[in-house]
Amino acid sequence: MALASAMHRVRPMRTDSELQQAVLRELSWDSRVRETDVGVRVTGGVVALTGTLGSWAERVAAQEAAHRVAGVQDVANDIVVKLPNDRHKTDIELAHAVRTTLQWDVLVPDERIQSTVTQGVVTLTGDVDFGSQREDAENAVRNLAGVREVLNDIRTKPAHEVKSVDVKTAIAEALARRTTREVNHINLEVEEGRVRLTGVVHSWAERRAALGAAKATRGVLSVVDHLRIEL
């Protein structure tokens, strides 16, 4: 009972110094990241990550770790990826690995996606029906050895036209299922399949849930995130 009561107390705003220490501890906790190679600066609740890591996946993991810390508003990720010698792949090898990975991922319409690999930078192009498929394609290739960066230029192009009012209703219902406490504080603007989210959520996890609901909704072409995190 005491633990439940403590969890519902309003947490005081953290100073930039406190946020910096909290982010460093989160990076240390996350086994995917070599936290000693990541520098953390915090100004006005905005976290700047610097340093060098050995893979694009590690870079993304560090960014996710910073976002998980309560009180962090935004993250500027300036981490540089420098591949270890044993992870260097030729562009041909990496291109084959990308194609195989896309083909094996059941969530990705691989026949509609093309990739270009240049010095370890993978650029994805093509078109898919849902925003979630666009993200799934990127997630599928970002953990491959040899990837220095992923540029996602895949377009969302629904197979059938959907009315904006139907998109708005579907997103609102999904938000109600996923973020019951915040749904009244999130505003939706939908125009020709383009969704703009504004308002307030109380954590990065809730923000991700709202964005995920919008991106996975049938008929959504793109999502613009203007949500604010307030504790």
- Residues 77 and 35 placed together within one structural domain of the fold: yes
What's the number of domains the chain is made of? 3
- List residues bridging with 140 in a β-sheet: none
Split at pLDDT 50, 70, 90, the class of 9 is very low
User: Mean pLDDT across the stretch 8-21?
Assistant: 74
- Residues 17 and 72 placed together within one structural domain of the fold: yes
- Residues 170 and 150 placed together within one structural domain of the fold: no
- Residues 181 and 151 placed together within one structural domain of the fold: no
- Are residues 87 and 71 in contact, defined by beta-carbon separation less than 8 angstroms? no
Choose the final residue of a domain: 54, 81, 108.
Answer: 81
Lowest mean pLDDT among 25-29, 139-143, 157-161, 190-194: 157-161
Tokens of 103: 């083909």
- Residues 132 and 200 placed together within one structural domain of the fold: no
Q: Give residue 2's pLDDT.
A: 42
Q: Using the Cα atoms of residue 72, residue 77, residue 79 and residue 83 in order, give the sign of their dihedral.
A: positive
Residues near 26 by beta carbon (within 8 Å), at least 6 away in sequence:
65, 66, 68, 69
Query: What amino acid is encoded at 75 in this protein?
Result: V
Query: With 70 as the cut, is the pLDDT of residue 47 above it?
Result: yes
CATH number of the domain enclosing 72: 3.30.1340
Query: With 60 as the cut, is the pLDDT of residue 3 above it?
Result: no
- Are residues 14 and 26 in contact, defined by beta-carbon separation less than 8 angstroms? no
Query: With 60 as the cut, is the pLDDT of residue 10 above it?
Result: no
- Residues 15 and 76 placed together within one structural domain of the fold: yes
- Residues 225 and 177 placed together within one structural domain of the fold: yes
- Residues 60 and 120 placed together within one structural domain of the fold: no
Q: Give residue 8's pLDDT.
A: 43
User: Among 58-67, 196-205, 216-225, which range has the highest average pLDDT?
Assistant: 58-67
- List residues bridging with 226 in a β-sheet: 198
Choose the final residue of a domain: 58, 81, 104.
Answer: 81
CATH number of the domain enclosing 170: 3.30.1340.30
- Residues 191 and 220 placed together within one structural domain of the fold: yes
Choose the final residue of a domain: 57, 81, 105.
Answer: 81
Query: With 60 as the cut, is the pLDDT of residue 194 above it?
Result: yes
Q: Give residue 4's pLDDT.
A: 41
Q: Give residue 39's pLDDT.
A: 94
- Residues 123 and 179 placed together within one structural domain of the fold: no
Task: Give φ, ψ of 10 to 5 degrees.
Answer: -75, 125
Query: With 50 as the cut, is the pLDDT of residue 217 above it?
Result: yes
Tokens of 230: 């307030």
Tokens of 189: 């603007």
Lowest mean pLDDT among 61-70, 97-106, 190-199, 201-210: 201-210
- Residues 46 and 32 placed together within one structural domain of the fold: yes
Residue 202's domain comprises 164-229
- Residues 140 and 122 placed together within one structural domain of the fold: yes
Q: Give residue 152's pLDDT.
A: 94
Query: With 90 as the cut, is the pLDDT of residue 159 above it?
Result: no
pTM: 0.70
